[in-house]
Amino acid sequence: MVDFRALGDDELVVAVAGGEREALGELYERHAPALFTRLDRRCGDRGVVEEAVQDTFVAVWRSAGKFRGDSQVAGWIWGIAIRRLIGVLRREPKARWVFDKRVDATIESAEEQLLVGVEHGHIAGAMERLSPELRLVLQATALDGLTMREAGELLGIPTGTVKTRLSKARRELREALT
Amino acid sequence: MNWHADDDELRSYAAGEVADVRAQSIEQHLGSCEQCRRRLAEGYDRGRMTVVWSEVVDELDQPRFGWLESALRRVGVGEQIARLVAVTPSLRWSWLAGVVFTLVFCVVTADWLGSGAPVLFLAVAPLVPLAAVAVAFGSHFDPIAELTLSSPVSNFRLLLARAVAVLVATIPLVLAAEVFLDAPGIGGARWLLPSLAMVSASLALSTRFDPLVSAATVGAGWVTALIVVALPAGTARAGDAVGDFFAFGAAGQVLSIALALGGLVWVFREREAIEIRRFV
């Protein structure tokens, strides 16, 4: 009897490829909460997010054999999850997230600002000054790892718009940093 | 690792209460920090976790559909019909490969035999769709015949669905073969209408007899007619005699249309009588 909780993520993926459902369960326990939370920030419909997470682990089950050890398991699963979210949104475009509706008014404490500075250096402050549209595009491409086309699908805007917003965001960031 | 998110912060992040830029830095951190991921997981909504996991398990337990079945379902064909069409014996690769092989044989021999109409092709081409439809309904070949019999789909609908699917799969193969056939004067897919007429006639007969027997009878009639036409002409002129056969002429084509439609009307009227029988 293997104790899957003692295994590393890489070993779990190998076990999943070998048909161990318990290993998939352990991966789910470890990664699903982060996926739920991160996807919830990109789509306001909890049902859609749950469907995407469900699809993600089904895909992990079926494609575990294709995972190459050269990247982090968490990053690999995230790559699947964000694309599954786009897939579900394609079926249910109404659930596409509109940024105006979001709660984005939390005031950050000084300590938090400090933490941001440590992780992101001086970029955080500059990011903050970007308009929400520009920030979203930057998030979808630079941070979430989507292509411009995928980002457009996620945000419900044409690829061309993604492109222009992205270059505008880059320009503003560069200006803020120099 | 420079820092770790504290528990309060992870909690408010999980609750969606952290502003964008801050959340982004937490997300980047979580992507590489196992420890923070574990702490986030510990406090996470168990109800949501359980529900979605049980859906994952359900989906893994579901049978996976073949390409044909998924394609049919995607274009809006009902679940039952899609499954029953997908298991049609004459849509299996082995069967389609057999059809291709037969057609290649006909085309190649026509080229070898040289002058005159391609007798073998003209004789065989119309029989291909007929045989495909017969095999589609012959329960001898149906691996799930019992299930087919007991499914709530009416036999008439199943008959039509499978016939259409089979014709869609086989007719292009024959048409493609004709393209490779080097026989001036006999192109234009003149075998098609007689073929449809025979399919329709055999379906009509199936309301009374076993589908295989019906198709075999119709097919035998076709072959007999061709022999009767070809024999008196002698070996040298047999090709032309077959090429001039009534069914390939204008009157024959019109008659074929009439027969095909008549057969369909008959099948529709007798739809209650259609049985997909089990013969042992």
d(CA A106, CA A23) in angstroms, rounded, equals: 38
Give me the torsion for CA of A140, A146, A151, A154, rounded to 10°.
-90
Choose among B20, B27, B30: nearest Cβ to A135. B20
Amino acid symbol at B270: E
Closest CA to B189 of B199, B200, B201, B179: B179
- A143 touching B (Cβ < 8 Å): yes
A158/A119 same-domain check = yes
Q: Where are the alpha helices (DSSP H) in chain B?
A: 7-14, 20-32, 34-42, 46-61, 67-74, 79-86, 93-113, 119-124, 127-137, 145-150, 155-180, 192-206, 211-230, 234-243, 250-269
> What are A143's two structure tokens?
């941070």
What are the structural domain ranges in chain B? 7-61, 67-273
> Which residues of chain A register pLDDT less than 70?
1, 95-123, 178
Q: CA-CA distances (angstroms) from residue B92 to A29, B68, B132, B141, B169? A: 42, 10, 11, 11, 10
d(CA B254, CA B260) in angstroms, rounded, equals: 10
pLDDT given at position B198: 92
d(CA B206, CA B270) in angstroms, rounded, equals: 10
pLDDT given at position B262: 92
pLDDT given at position B185: 56
Q: Which residues from B are below 8 Å from A31, CB to CB?
A: 37
Mutation choice for A interface testing from B13, B21, B46, B62 by most A CBs within 10 A: B21
Residue B248 distance to chain A (closest CA, Å): 50
pLDDT per residue of chain B (280 residues) written in tens, 0 to 9? 457 878 888 888 888 888 877 888 888 888 888 889 999 998 899 999 999 999 999 988 877 677 777 777 777 777 777 777 777 777 777 778 888 888 887 777 776 665 556 777 888 888 888 888 888 776 556 555 555 556 666 777 777 888 888 888 888 888 888 877 766 556 677 888 889 999 999 988 888 887 788 889 999 998 898 888 877 776 667 677 777 777 787 888 889 999 999 998 988 888 777 665 443 3
- A6 touching B (Cβ < 8 Å): no
Q: Which residue of B has its CA nearest to A132?
A: B20
Inter-chain CB proximity A132 and B22 less than 8 Å = no
pLDDT given at position A128: 78
Q: Which of A62, A97, A132 is the last residue of a domain?
A: A97
A50/A118 same-domain check = no
> Does some domain include residue A166?
yes
A4/A43 same-domain check = yes
- B33 touching A (Cβ < 8 Å): no
Within 10 Å of residue B253's Cβ, how many Cβ atoms? Answer: 18
CB pairs under 8 A between A and B: 113
Q: CA-CA distances (angstroms) from residue B183 to B117, B119, B178, B230, B274? A: 6, 10, 9, 18, 41
Cβ atoms of B263 and B204 within 8 Å: the answer is yes
A86/A132 same-domain check = no
DSSP B66: P
DSSP B231: G
Closest CA to A108 of B33, B35, B24: B24
Q: Which residue of B has its CA nearest to A56?
A: B56
Q: Which residues from A are below 8 Å from B52, CB to CB?
A: 32, 50, 53-54
A118/A167 same-domain check = yes
Cβ atoms of A9 and A73 within 8 Å: the answer is yes
A12-48: buried (b, 16+ CB within 10 Å) or exposed (e) per residue? bbbbbbeebeebbbbbbbbbbbbbbbbbbbbbbbeeb
A81/A113 same-domain check = no
Residue A162 distance to chain B (closest CA, Å): 19
Inter-chain CB proximity A116 and B22 less than 8 Å = yes
Q: Which residue of B has its CA nearest to A29?
A: B41
d(CA A58, CA B240) in angstroms, rounded, equals: 62
At A129 the three-state DSSP class reads: helix
> What are A13's two structure tokens?
């993926």
Cβ atoms of A39 and A86 within 8 Å: the answer is no
CB neighbour list of residue B39: distance below 8 Å, 6 or more residues apart: B5, B7, B10
Q: Which domain holds residue A82?
A: 1-97
- A1 touching B (Cβ < 8 Å): no
ipTM for the predicted complex = 0.77
A83-119: buried (b, 16+ CB within 10 Å) or exposed (e) per residue? bbbbebbeeeeebbbeeeeeeeeeebeeebeebbeeb
A19/A89 same-domain check = yes
Q: Which residue of A has its CA nearest to B5?
A: A115
d(CA B275, CA B273) in angstroms, rounded, equals: 6
Inter-chain CB proximity A57 and B56 less than 8 Å = yes
d(CA B253, CA B126) in angstroms, rounded, equals: 13
Mutation choice for B interface testing from A7, A31, A106 by most B CBs within 10 A: A106
Inter-chain CB proximity B48 and A108 less than 8 Å = no
A90/A167 same-domain check = no
pLDDT given at position B207: 82
Q: Which of A97, A123, A141 is the last residue of a domain?
A: A97
Q: Which residue of B has its CA nearest to A41?
A: B16
A62/A84 same-domain check = yes
- A84 touching B (Cβ < 8 Å): no
Inter-chain CB proximity A103 and B16 less than 8 Å = yes
Closest CA to A28 of A1, A64, A2: A64
Q: Which residue of B has its CA nearest to A25?
A: B53
Choose among B3, B30, B59: nearest Cβ to A34. B30
A79/A123 same-domain check = no
- How would you write A58-109 as a 3-class SS string? HHHHHHHHHCCCCCCHHHHHHHHHHHHHHHHHHHCHHHCCCHHHCCCCCCCC
A23/A85 same-domain check = yes
pLDDT given at position B49: 95
Amino acid symbol at A96: R
Q: Which of A72, A97, A122 is the last residue of a domain?
A: A97
A120/A88 same-domain check = no
Inter-chain CB proximity A119 and B28 less than 8 Å = yes
What angle, 0 to 180 degrees and rounded to 10, lies between the N-to-C axes of helices B192-206 and B127-137? 30
> Does some domain include residue A102?
no
> Does some domain include residue A122?
yes
Cβ atoms of A34 and B44 within 8 Å: the answer is no
Query: What is the CATH classification number for the domain harbouring A4?
Result: 1.10.1740.10
pLDDT given at position B182: 66
Number of domains forming the structure of chain A: 2
